[in-house]
Amino acid sequence: MNCLKCGKKTTRTEAFCQECMEVMERYPVKPGTVVQIPNRNAVQAEKKNQPYKREPSPAEQLAHLRGIVRWMTVTVAILSLLLCLTAGILLHLIGNDTAAYGIGQNYITTSAD
């Protein structure tokens, strides 16, 4: 038997396929309501009007992935450069402070002249 809504073959003796039943369960109808079942030809025509998404060829996929790798490489290089620059600035600032007092020395000695 075929589903009355979408036209798919069903192995059961039910009027609707499992997928259509799941959709209809989400939108319950009150008892006694007149329900119009769409024409199968209209449903099939609607499916045909949907845009076809073609699968990209392996060459297109490879070109896309190479672009992503190139972008990620540039990003990592820029971030590494910024990290090195920041570390250099911090070491310079810390180096200036330790040069005046000596490494590890937390006091200043003065001479009594």
**Which tens digits make up the pLDDT trace of 24-82?**
888 887 888 887 766 666 666 666 666 777 889 999 999 999 999 999 999 999 999 99
How confident is the model at residue 18, as a pLDDT? 84
What are the φ/ψ torsions at residue 59 (nearest 5 degrees)?
-65, -40
Phi-psi category of 67—alpha, beta or left, where left has phi over 0 and alpha has psi -120 to 50?
A: alpha
d(CA 3, CA 38) in angstroms, rounded, equals: 11
The predicted-structure confidence for 91-112, as pLDDT tens digits, reads as follows 887 766 554 555 566 666 777 7
Residue 68 · residue 60 · CB < 8 Å: no
Cα–Cα distance measured from residue 4 to residue 40, given in angstroms and rounded to the nearest whole number: 8
pTM of the model: 0.40
